[in-house]
Amino acid sequence: MSIEMLEIKQKMESLSDEKITELYSLASEVSMDTIEELCPALLQICLKAEGGALKNQLGMVIFHLQKNERLNTRIGLEKLLHGALKVNPKDVFQLLESSEPDAKELSKRIKQLL
């Protein structure tokens, strides 16, 4: 993993509530088509997480959304993006940058935020 990705992973561990809110608001600007494309891939990134990075409140929310078939929603995208950035930012940015134009823009804006 590159130094940039390690730094992002470390920043994700200590994000303030304000920064998390900003991250979520960035995710809310993505189209529904992109949400439907990104959410299953972000879930896979979260599920491959090694260690206990998502054995917390965020992980429980993601599990709850999955159980109730609500992952392909704006809230699902917000939570999956947050969780996936915590466990594997490299794969998240690769996914975003190889996706729709609004996902590419989201990638750029997340890097600026962090």
Contact of 113 with 19, CB cutoff 8 Å: yes
Contact of 58 with 92, CB cutoff 8 Å: no
User: Would you list the domain boundaries of the chain?
Assistant: 3-113
Tens-digit pLDDT profile for residues 5-32: 888 888 898 899 999 999 999 999 999 9
CA-based angle 98:30:50, to the nearest 5?
60
Record the pTM.
0.91
Q: Report residue 27 as tokens.
A: 């995710």
Tens-digit pLDDT profile for residues 85-110: 999 999 999 999 999 999 999 999 99
Q: What is the rounded CA–CA span in Å between residue 64 and residue 90?
A: 25
The 3-state DSSP class for residue 100 equals: coil
Give the Å distances, CA to CA, from 84 to 8, 38: 12, 11
